[in-house]
Amino acid sequence: MGSTLVFGGGGQLGQCLQHVAQQRNLTDIVFLPEEQANILEPAALRETFTRYQPSYIINCAAYTAVDKAEDEVDLARRVNRDGAENLARLCGEFGATLLHISTDFVFAGTGNQPLTETDEAAPISVYGLTKLEGEEVIPRHTSQYFILRTSWLYSEYAGNFVKTMLRFGREREEMRVIWDQLGTPTYAIDLAGCLLHVIQSGSTAYGLYHYSNEGVTSWYDFAAAIFELGGLSTRVVPIRTAEYPTKATRPAFSVMDKTKVKKTLGLTIPHWRESLKVCLSRLA
């Protein structure tokens, strides 16, 4: 088996992949420097594929500034759609398998039942739309792909909701947090483990999957758990989405059904509170 190339290796998920790869003593994973890893430069990408002859590509590179995307539509589309297409085209040519990260933001969030891979995607933000366009363009160039939609990603690396709440919790006596958006937090270390499991298992069960931790919560309850488990006495006040307006609209309900990924890949997924405890202990 050839090497695995990771694009976007400097971001949160990329750093988690490095952590898990080291734990598992995986030495054939290459975290490329930025000058070799710009997914918007097809010629440089081709040189990288030619040099490494990879068996797997993990694409963690994405435009994820959800609110800024409403004003930077072209840039978001170039990264989230065109970048994914560039990688998919080369994977098709070189016979490599693409592992691509997508998002719960492809859904409108108007329902109240866990969302499966066959439920209609109807994004309500530019970010969600461009990520869906990335999903749709991949199968045009390769049949060897795994697309994993995830949600509410956090870890001890980079900036994220957990680290922000811990910082505010030490500075403030009270936090106002939205309670009417429901979803599932995902510990990026767990997602990294899932991605590496796909590679280590040699699975050819290609297609679209949902991956988050188990359980359901609101941002309010998530924040309360962070303070409780983090030993902070910050009071959390629930507010409605309308009280905290943002440029991009968020899905009100984006709980994803993980039945397919668990059955097909033989995974056991931890509950979000258990993974949060692990993350907080590492941050401490």
Structure tokens at 181: 């958006």
Q: How many CA within 13 A on the CB side of residue 143? A: 2
Q: Which fold has domain 4-155+186-214+256-269?
A: Rossmann fold (3.40.50)
Regarding pTM above 0.85, the answer is yes
Sign of the CA dihedral 210, 213, 215, 219? negative
Taking the alpha carbons at both ends of the chain, their separation in whole angstroms is 38
C-alpha span between 58 and 6 (Å, rounded): 5
Structure tokens at 137: 């363009």
CB 217 within 8 A of CB 184: yes
3-state secondary structure the chain: CCCEEEECCCCHHHHHHHHHHHHCCCCCEEECCHHHCCCCCHHHHHHHHHHHCCCEEEECCCCCCCCHHHCCHHHHHHHHHHHHHHHHHHHHHHCCEEEEEEEHHHCCCCCCCCECCCCCCCCCCHHHHHHHHHHHHHHHCCCCEEEEEECCEECCCCCCHHHHHHHHHHHCCEEEEECCCEECCEEHHHHHHHHHHHHHHCCCCCEEEECCCECCEEHHHHHHHHHHHCCCCCEEEEECHHHCCCCCCCCCECCECCHHHHHHHCCCCCEHHHHHHHHHHHHC
Q: 197: buried, middle or exposed (CB in 10 Å: 19+, 13-18, 0-12)?
A: middle
* Residue pLDDT tens, the chain, 284 long: 689 999 999 999 999 999 999 999 999 999 987 777 899 999 999 999 999 999 999 999 999 999 999 999 999 999 999 999 999 999 999 999 999 999 999 999 999 999 999 999 999 999 999 999 999 999 999 999 999 999 999 999 999 999 999 999 999 999 999 999 999 999 999 999 999 999 999 999 999 999 999 999 999 999 999 999 999 999 999 999 999 999 999 999 999 999 999 999 999 999 999 999 999 999 99
The pLDDT score that the predictor gives to residue 283 is 96
- Cα 18 to Cα 25, 32, 35, 145: the distances in Å are 10, 12, 19, 21
The pLDDT score that the predictor gives to residue 1 is 63
C-alpha span between 206 and 95 (Å, rounded): 14
- Choose the catalytic residue: 63, 127, 154, 157: 127
Q: What are phi and psi of 103, to 5 degrees?
A: -145, 155
127 part of the active site: yes
